Amino acid sequence: MDNKAGKTPRSPSSHAATPPAATRPVPTDTSAAPTDTARNSATPRRPSLDPELLRRRLEPLGYVVEVVEQTGSTNTDLVERPHCPNATVRIAEEQISGRGRMGRVWTAPARAQLIVSVSLTCPEIPMERLGLFPLVAGLSITQGIIDATALPARLKWPNDVLVENRKLVGMLVEVPQLQPVPRVVIGFGVNYDLMPEELPVPHATSLALEYSHCDPIAADGELAAKEVPETTVVAKEVVAKETAMSPAASARQTDNALPSREEIAVRILTQLHEDVARFRAMGGAPMTFMSRYKHLSSTLGTAVKVLLPGDKELAGTAVDISDGGELVVIDEQGRRHSVAAGDVIHVRPRGGTAYSESSE
C-alpha cells in the first residue's frame, strides 16, 4: 500500500458469528520501540501477522491473500503486476518506498501499521465511475474501524479517516493503465500502535493512542453536535446507535484490549467486499453508498479553506458531495463551487486546530 495515510445500515448482530482475533493490551512503554537493526524482527510488543488466520477469514469472501515481510510499496506491487487476479490482497509488515497522494513520502516502523493493497477488476463499472472508488473504499475502511474498535472514526473528504480531527488512516487508489478489463488498486495504511514520536506527521494518531485516551461512542448513540446544512442532513443518529450497540462498543466499556491487526484487516476487508459487491451490481451508481458516506462525513457542515491549483484559495462551508464525488462548497458570497481536487483544510472553532491534507 501507499499512504495513504452504499450499504444499508445493518444490525451489529450480523458480525456475531465472526470469531474474534486475539487482542492485546495497549502499549504504554515507548522505550520498547524497535531499533533500526531490529525493524524486521518480531517483538512481543509488535508480533508478526498470522497469514493462516487471515486466509481462513478472508478466502471465503473470494480474496487471494498474500502476506510479505517487506516490500517497496504494496500498491506498486499490484499496479505493476500483469494479469493480477481479482480480489488479490497484499499485506506487508513493512514498506520502504511508500508514497502518499501527490507523491508524498510515507514510512513507518515494521509491524506498527496495517499496510494493505487490494486489486479489484471492475468490468461492470464504466470508466467514468471508477473515480468514485476513493469514496467507496474510504467509507468501507471507516465503517470497518468503527465495527472493530467503536472509536468515533469519521471521513474527511475524500477518504482520510480521522478520529477527533487526527489522521488515523490514509488511502491511495490507483487505476492501472492499458488493462484489458478495468481495474483499481486500493491501498490503505492504518496507524496501529505508533507512539507519538513515531507518527509520520503532527496531526496523525494511532489506534493505540486513541484507545489510551478516547472513550468509545456513547451508549446512548449521541454524536458530537455539528450543524449540517439542511440539504445534506441525514440520520446520523442511526449510525451512532448501531455503533453503540456493536460488540466492539460493548467490549470497550469493560476491556481496553486493542483488537489485533488481523481483526482490523478482516473487519475492513469484509466491509469492502460488501460495499464493492453492491457498487458493482448497480453499475457504479453513487446511490449505493453516498448517503452512508455523508452519515460519516466530518467535512460536511464544516467551514473549510481549499487550496486550489494555481495558488488560488476558496473559503466557505462544505455543504454537499455531488454524485460525481466532488465536494460542494458555498463561499462567503453565497456562490456554489464544486471541488474535484485540492488541499482541504477543516477550519476549527476558536481554540481548536486546523487539519490539511491533499485530496488529490
Are 318 and 270 contained in the same domain?
Answer: no
pLDDT tens, position by position, 315-329: 999 999 999 999 999
Separation CA 317–CA 336 (nearest Å): 10
Residue 103 has pLDDT above 90, yes or no: no
Q: Residue 253 is inside which H or E element, if any?
A: helix 247-254
pLDDT tier, 354 (very low <50, low <70, confident <90, very high otherwise) = low
Is residue 290, in this structure, part of any structural domain at all? yes
pLDDT tens, position by position, 20-31: 444 554 443 333
Q: Residue 312 is inside which H or E element, if any?
A: strand 312-321
Residue 212 has pLDDT above 80, yes or no: yes
pLDDT at residue 3, as a whole number: 46
Are 101 and 217 contained in the same domain?
Answer: yes
- CATH number, domain of 165, equals 3.30.930.10
pLDDT tens, position by position, 116-172: 999 999 999 999 999 999 999 999 999 999 999 999 999 999 999 999 999 999 999
Structural domain harbouring 319: 303-358
Contact (Cβ atoms closer than 8 angstroms) between residue 109 and residue 12: no
Domain edge (last residue) among 295, 320, 350: 295
Are 199 and 251 contained in the same domain?
Answer: yes
> Could you tell me the maximum CA-CA distance found in the chain, to the nearest angstrom?
58
pLDDT at residue 29, as a whole number: 37
Separation CA 228–CA 319 (nearest Å): 7
Is residue 286, in this structure, part of any structural domain at all? yes
Residue 91 has pLDDT above 60, yes or no: yes
Average pLDDT along the chain: 80
Separation CA 297–CA 286 (nearest Å): 15
Mean pLDDT on 43-50: 90
Are 107 and 206 contained in the same domain?
Answer: yes
Residue 5 neighbours by CB distance under 10 Å = 30
Are 145 and 258 contained in the same domain?
Answer: yes
What b/e sequence results for 257-284 when a residue is b if at least 16 CB atoms lie within 10 Å of its CB, and e otherwise? ebbbbbbbbbbbbbbbbbbbebbbebeb
Give the rounded percent of residues in the chain with a pLDDT score beyond 70.
70
Are 259 and 312 contained in the same domain?
Answer: no
Are 178 and 322 contained in the same domain?
Answer: no
Is residue 318, in this structure, part of any structural domain at all? yes
pTM over 0.75: yes
Is residue 5, in this structure, part of any structural domain at all? no
Contact (Cβ atoms closer than 8 angstroms) between residue 309 and residue 359: no
pLDDT at residue 311, as a whole number: 87
pLDDT tens, position by position, 174-195: 999 888 899 999 999 999 999 9
Are 289 and 317 contained in the same domain?
Answer: no
pLDDT at residue 343, as a whole number: 83
Separation CA 115–CA 95 (nearest Å): 8
Is residue 162, in this structure, part of any structural domain at all? yes
Are 285 and 351 contained in the same domain?
Answer: no
pLDDT at residue 178, as a whole number: 84
Return all residues near 237 (Cβ < 8 A) that are at least 6 apart: 221, 222, 223
Are 88 and 25 contained in the same domain?
Answer: yes
Cis check: omega of the bond before 126, within 30 degrees of 0: no
Q: What cell numbers appear for 148 in the block? A: 472493530
Q: What cell numbers appear for 342 in the block? A: 485540492
Residue 351 has pLDDT above 80, yes or no: no
Are 203 and 62 contained in the same domain?
Answer: yes
Is residue 1, in this structure, part of any structural domain at all? no
Identify the three-state secondary structure at position 1. coil
- Which segment of 68-82, 204-218, 342-356 scores lowest on mean pLDDT? 342-356
- CATH number, domain of 349, equals 2.30.30.100
Are 230 and 344 contained in the same domain?
Answer: no
Is residue 2, in this structure, part of any structural domain at all? no
Identify the three-state secondary structure at position 4. coil
Pairing of β 258-259 and β 336-339: unpaired
Query: What is the tally of structural domains in the chain?
Result: 2
Is residue 6, in this structure, part of any structural domain at all? no
